[in-house]
Every structure is written in C-alpha cells, then in structure tokens.
Homo-oligomer: A and B are copies of this chain.
Amino acid sequence: MERERAFVVKIGGKVINDPVALESFLGDFARIEGKKILVHGGGNLLETFSEKLGIRQTMIDGRRVTDAETLELALMVYAGAISKRIVAGLQKYGCNAAGFSGADMNLVRASKRKPGAHDFGFVGDVEPSSVNAEALGGLLNENITPVFCAVTHDGEGQLLNTNADSLAYVLACALAPAYDVQLHYCFERRGVMRDVNDPDSILPTITGEAYRRMLEENSISGGMLPKLDTAFSAIRNGVGAVVIGHAGELVNAINKKENAGTYLVA
C-alpha cells in the first residue's frame, strides 16, 4: 500500500533574517500539499540580542555554550519572536500552523548533554525515540502544521537548547513508520558542492556508497559533514529521501526538478 507523504522542512541560515526571502519561503511552504512540519533555526538574531544585552557568547569548536542567560535569550528569540512571526506568516497563507517547542505537549524530550571534555551547558541531545510520535501524529491528523523551534525539555522542568538540524532529523525519523517522509534542509546554498571553492560544482545526487567513498577520501568540507551524517542517518532510519538545497528551490526540490539541490538517497 502506498503510504501518505509527509514533509519535514528545516529552514535556517540567513533566510531567517531576511523578511522578503522568509515571506517568499513561507508562501512556498504553505502551498505544499499534504502533511508537513517546519523546523526553524535562529538566523543571527540571538547574536544580535546577546551583543545588545552584553551577554557574552562562548563557543567551543564552533558550538555555542548555553549558559542560563543564553538559554533565556534562546527562548525569547527562537520560541518567541521567530516562531510566532513564522506562524502568523503561514496563517496569512491559509496554512494552519502552530508553533511548538519540545516541551509543548511533551513533543520532544531531550537528555541534557553530560559534561565531557567541555560543558556545553543547557544543551539537549535528541534521538528518534525522543519524539512523542503519537502526539505529533495527532496534530498532523488534525491538519495542523507544527512549526518547531529548536528548544526541547527534559521533562523535569528544564528547557534545553537543541541543534535544529538534529531536531528535524529526529522528527523525520519518528514519522517514518507511518509516512513516506521527505526531509528538506533549506538554507542559502544551492546544495552540496564537490569543490567548496566552486559554486557550480553542486552534486545532484549522493548515494550512501558515494558518501562512504567521500568520507574515505576526506573530500567533504567541515561545515557540511554533520549535515550529511545526519542526512544519511535519517535514510538508515526509514526516511525516504533527504534534500539539501536553497530555500528558494523548495518547491522544485519536492517536484524533483533538476538543479534544485542535492538529493541524498540510500
């Protein structure tokens, strides 16, 4: 039996900060037919406000340390300003969106990352079993479009900052038993480049085998590595396809047009 399609779309990068690009993206997203979930990053709004408020940001290996003040700011920026703007924008286009963190309806319960060599603070790690698939499925059955900010909770009252790519990944995996899931990572680049210095070297497809070869050859740029790793984990967990591409190409990517991004397949 053919299963119903469901789309999990992650929108991140500079699009979040650009009202015109965001509006256009929301219009495209609203027009996707069928079940869908939007996961959004924070653009650079957290940096803007932490600078204005004089809250010092500590980064370790390019990853943010979430102290209590930064968590508060993450709630304000991600769960407040960005989430509600996206929801109101989608409602305008007739898409019945509702903004959620993982705490709402206990949708995603994370584990606070244990301090190892570094203590990243109030950061929550998620895996596919973190998702309350029944509650999520209930929302989709009611034709509600969940809009997730990358904030989760531990079930004991503690909110946790979570990687938005990882959140999109676990949501997609949780839907895979019931739906034919496509996971789209949208940002301001046109896909995965073979040569990081050549914007025209976008790879149209990467298979699992090609990916293993690229890993062996060490030919993947650092920034793209975690995204690709997450993408292939999604495929191993039953997600039908993952596409990495430009926010403006989402509709083309769904319709499998050429040059609409990099398609990752088993």
Q: Complex: how many Å from CA A104 to CA B84?
A: 8
CB distance from A17 to the nearest CB of B (A): 13
Binds B, one of A2-10, A71-79, A254-262: A71-79
Q: Complex: how many Å from CA A53 to CA B92?
A: 30
Q: How many copies does the complex hold?
A: 2
Q: How many residues of A contact B (CB 8 A)?
A: 39
List 7 extra interface pairs beyond A78-B80, A87-B104, A91-B155, CB under 8 A.
Answer: A72-B81, A84-B101, A84-B151, A88-B157, A92-B156, A97-B105, A98-B104
Q: For residues 67 through 113 of chain A, which have their beta carbon under 8 Å from a beta carbon of chain B?
A: 72, 75-81, 83-85, 87-89, 91-92, 96-101, 103-106
Q: Complex: how many Å from CA A80 to CA B85?
A: 12
**A153 an interface residue at 8 Å Cβ cutoff?**
yes
Q: When the two chains form their complex, are residues B99 and A159 in contact, meaning their CB atoms are under 8 A apart?
A: no
Q: A106-B96, A138-B142 are in contact. Are A76 and B80 (CB under 8 A)?
A: yes
Interface of A is mostly: helix
Q: When the two chains form their complex, are residues B106 and A91 in contact, meaning their CB atoms are under 8 A apart?
A: yes
Q: For residues 130 through 149 of chain A, which have their beta carbon under 8 Å from a beta carbon of chain B?
A: 138, 142, 144
Q: When the two chains form their complex, are residues A103 and B77 in contact, meaning their CB atoms are under 8 A apart?
A: no
**A58 an interface residue at 8 Å Cβ cutoff?**
no
